[in-house]
Amino acid sequence: MSDFREKQSAPSRRALIQALAGATAAAAIDASFANVFAQSGPIKIAVLNTFTKSVALFGEATWRGFDFYLEEHGRKLAGRPVELTREDDEFNPQVGLQKVRKLIESDKVHMLLGPLGSHIAAAMVGYMKTAGTPWIVTGAGSTPLTKQRLPNMFRSSLTNWQVAHPMGTWLTQNGVKETTIVSSDFLAGHDIADSFKSTFVAGGGKIANSVFPPVGTNDFSPYLTNIRSQNPQSVYVFLAGSEAARFVKQFQQFGLKDKIKLLGFQSTLDSDVFPLQGDSAIGGLSSSIYAELVDTPENKKFVEAYKKKYNELPGIFSETGYATMMMIDKALSAIAGKLEDRDAFSTALKSTSIIAPRGPVSFDPVTHQAIHNIYIREVIEQNGTLANKVIATVPNVGDHPNNKT
């Protein structure tokens, strides 16, 4: 029996080794095909934004910008089909963080876009740094956010400082020497007020008063009564969504429009809220990364196509959504669509530059903040429609200097 076992053991071992080698090769081939399929299959992009509450119209506008670009390009980026999904953060940091965990851990998305609220983005930073998922901020303007320097985070929209501080300088150079600040009482509101105040005061301007209405304010009459009694030369306002609409309309109803100059941060006076404001917005001045009347071929083409589809002019958020997809598309094309290689995508996006509807856009290589023009805008009526006319341009404004140190 022992001789029989010995005679059989050698070929049996050889057969086993050959079988294992074949299985290993087959597994390697399967893995290779799986990898190729993963890098040619659909790209799963999730949008975390606010689709309810008073700022819902901005979330919807950003979504339209994303979707519009994809529709124009066959719902593909760099030749790969895109699955675009969305979650509502309800303008609540805790809800936002829960949704982010779901999108990354359960839905296995390749990329995250959003959010709108700076307080929500701040709550996400720690988790997103660990997750490593490519993250493009398309709304939250918190000035210190890019100081975090997450290698996987880029911001295709504004910083609050980027938009607010040129306005303070421009106003004092153009005869505005006194203002009352009215700014929403959350992280972004205080950031914007501080950024505007620093250059306005440095230019010789005087702040008559600063007030911070709580988020969700419907009745601004107590604030407007005080403004009327103080009678400053101007008011500088940051409010968002329906709150911006209510304030601007009530400002006119209180008889202040013809006596006190209305100034604002971009979302206060924009195409997204004009339908709610009506002619009460006409004559208002604001600063922004975009104006629908930017006089370039790229913007004219975008505005014409957007208006044809949605029967309205695009605003800052729809343009941001559109421009963000442009940047992603170009970066992915540089790496043959292989978003699974996160380091390669980050490197490609860092060096991406485009001519968007807003104008030239690139990224700061250190902080990953978008660099773009800032426009000083005046609300006018053109062919029965309200629009923002560019009256001054501050070119190539980058990140706050403190964020680079």
182: β partners: 211, 237
Model pLDDT, residue 80: 97
Rounded CA-CA distance 146/388 in Å is: 29
Given a contact cutoff of 8 angstroms between Cβ atoms, the answer to whether 164 and 386 are in contact is no
Please list, in sequence order, all residues whose beta carbon lies within 8 angstroms of the beta carbon of residue 287, skipping any fewer than 6 positions away: 163, 164, 166, 167, 170, 265, 266, 374, 375, 376, 377
In a domain, 395, yes or no: no
Residues 153 and 170 in one domain: no
What domain count does the chain have?
Answer: 3
Model pLDDT, residue 18: 53
In a domain, 403, yes or no: no
Model pLDDT, residue 8: 43
Residues 263 and 171 in one domain: yes
Residues 165 and 280 in one domain: yes
Closest CA to 180 of 204, 221, 211: 211
Note the pLDDT tens digit of each residue in 49-74: 999 988 999 999 999 999 999 999 99
Residues 233 and 84 in one domain: no
Intervals of the chain under pLDDT 50: 1-13, 15-17, 19-21, 23-38
- For the whole model, what pTM was predicted? 0.89
**CATH number of the domain bearing residue 67:** 3.40.50.2300
Alpha carbon 235 to its chain centroid, in Å, reads 26
For residue 246, which amino acid is it?
R
- The first and second tokens of residue 300, run together, are 């004219």
| Domain ranges, residue 201 | 161-293
In a domain, 398, yes or no: no
Residues 65 and 123 in one domain: yes
In this structure, the strands spanning 234-238 and 206-211 are unpaired
Residues 76 and 146 in one domain: yes
In a domain, 303, yes or no: yes
